[in-house]
Structure 1
Amino acid sequence: MSVKERKERERAERERLIVTTARELAEQQGWDAVTTRRLAERIEYSQPVLYSHFRGKREIIGAVALQGAAELARTLRAATSAASGPRAQVTALARGYLDFAQHHPAVYDALFQLDGGLPYAQEDTPQPLKDAFAALEETLGQVTGNGVHPGLFTEVFWASLHGLATLARTGRLLPEDAEARLQLLVDRLPAH
């Protein structure tokens, strides 16, 4: 292995450490607790080393969001692959999405609440974000009503899931009605 390859590998490992540590800190204490000073202390590197990877917290949030988008896509595809039939797949998709939001609140915030400097719904949208949307559209495209564009339908259904996830997380919805809400949403789909 050449010196250049070793340095590139070490840089990539350091970057992964920064992102993982930021994510862990955010999951434990919230994003307000994630500062470059605290990250530098936790990873035992200086702040200038941290800044050699990321220009600041915004880029770190973006890196966590990209990592989270890839995880969300895998989660959704795994959930739907175990279900048979379009409605069962949509139910599994919705459940997988809501479970992901509940179990990974800091990642969910990085993806959908905080400014990580990532372009959404544009030509230069990073591939992990496109993959997460595609994981939704693969299933929802099967139940799109006549004359409705699958991408548009996916956006509306996703917005509904996001609303449920956000309202549930902030205690604005009764937890015991979560399953009834999910079924109500799925039952409103066009018949297939």
Structure 2
Amino acid sequence: MAVQQRRERERSERHRLIISAARELAEAEGWGAVTTRRLSERVEYSQPVLYSHFKGKDAIVAAVAVEGFGEIAEELRRARTAQASPRAALGALADAYLEFARAKPAVYAAMFVREIDVEFGSAATPAPLKAAFGELLGAVEPLAAARNADPEALTEVFWSALHGLATLEEGHRLRPGAHRTRVDLLIDLVAAGT
């Protein structure tokens, strides 16, 4: 049994190493630079070893995305729960979301921009994705009643607006000096009536 456990541990470590190398390379040079050849050189394993863990680059991107959802869920939870009022929690969560997108653009792109074979909004949705949405919902839900709004629909609209801000800011499509004004306006819109 000890040999089998060691092999499973080594396989898990290789799996983790491949994901980490893909993230590092994507953050440094963009997703176009992430190839199985470059990854195999970086992690010092042959391409067949990479393919024993992932079917190809798309599967690696999906693994990075799922890992990113787990990370953003934790960051959103910390931001949300550190505030006493629902409005302050929504603002802190918005700031944490946008900071995550700014600090980890390649991971954010894997999560939301690149096409990945991961289901959203269904029973098959991976737990980290559900957790991230749950944190968004946790911040919006206390404010939805004052608007007489469906909490999940309002959360989706809020999330869409955050994503739009993150994407447009990353692409330098918005005025650089107006970030705080935009975020405050979004919080005002979602929290209207509270």
CA distance in 1, matches of 2:46, 2:5: 23
- Give, in angstroms, the shift of residue 84 of structure 1: 1.8
**TM-score with structure 1 setting the length:** 0.97
Equivalent position SS for 2:45: coil
CA distance in 2, matches of 1:88, 1:173: 24
Unpaired stretches in structure 2, ≥5 consecutive residues:
none
Work out whether residues 140 and 150 of structure 1, in 8 Å CA contact, stay in contact via their aligned partners in 2: yes
Using the TM superposition, name which of 111-120 and 27-36 deviates more. 111-120
Paired AA for residue 162 in structure 2: L
- Give, in angstroms, the shift of residue 122 of structure 1: 1.4
Matched with 1:191 is: 193
- Give, in angstroms, the shift of residue 146 of structure 1: 4.2
Give 1:6-25 correspondences, 5 Å limit. 6-25=6-25
Give 1:1-192 correspondences, 5 Å limit. 2-144=2-144, 145-188=146-189, 189-192=191-194
Equivalent position SS for 1:128: helix
Paired AA for residue 72 in structure 1: I
Paired AA for residue 81 in structure 2: S
Task: Give the 4+ runs in structure 1 shifted more than 3 A.
Answer: none
Report the structure, 1 or 2, having the larger helix content.
2
Unpaired stretches in structure 1, ≥5 consecutive residues:
none
Paired AA for residue 129 in structure 1: L
Equivalent position SS for 2:109: helix
**TM-score with structure 2 setting the length:** 0.96
Equivalent position SS for 1:141: helix
Work out whether residues 60 and 116 of structure 1, in 8 Å CA contact, stay in contact via their aligned partners in 2: no
Paired AA for residue 184 in structure 1: L
Identical-residue share of aligned pairs (%): 51
RMSD (CA atoms) = 1.0
Work out whether residues 98 and 165 of structure 1, in 8 Å CA contact, stay in contact via their aligned partners in 2: yes
Q: How many residues are matched? A: 192
Paired AA for residue 101 in structure 1: A
Work out whether residues 94 and 182 of structure 1, in 8 Å CA contact, stay in contact via their aligned partners in 2: yes
CA distance in 2, matches of 1:170, 1:120: 25
Paired AA for residue 149 in structure 2: V
Equivalent position SS for 2:142: coil
- Give, in angstroms, the shift of residue 116 of structure 1: 2.2
Work out whether residues 64 and 107 of structure 1, in 8 Å CA contact, stay in contact via their aligned partners in 2: yes
Deviations 1:158-182 (A, max 9, x none): 0000000000000000121000000
- Give, in angstroms, the shift of residue 147 of structure 1: 3.4
CA distance in 2, matches of 1:27, 1:135: 25
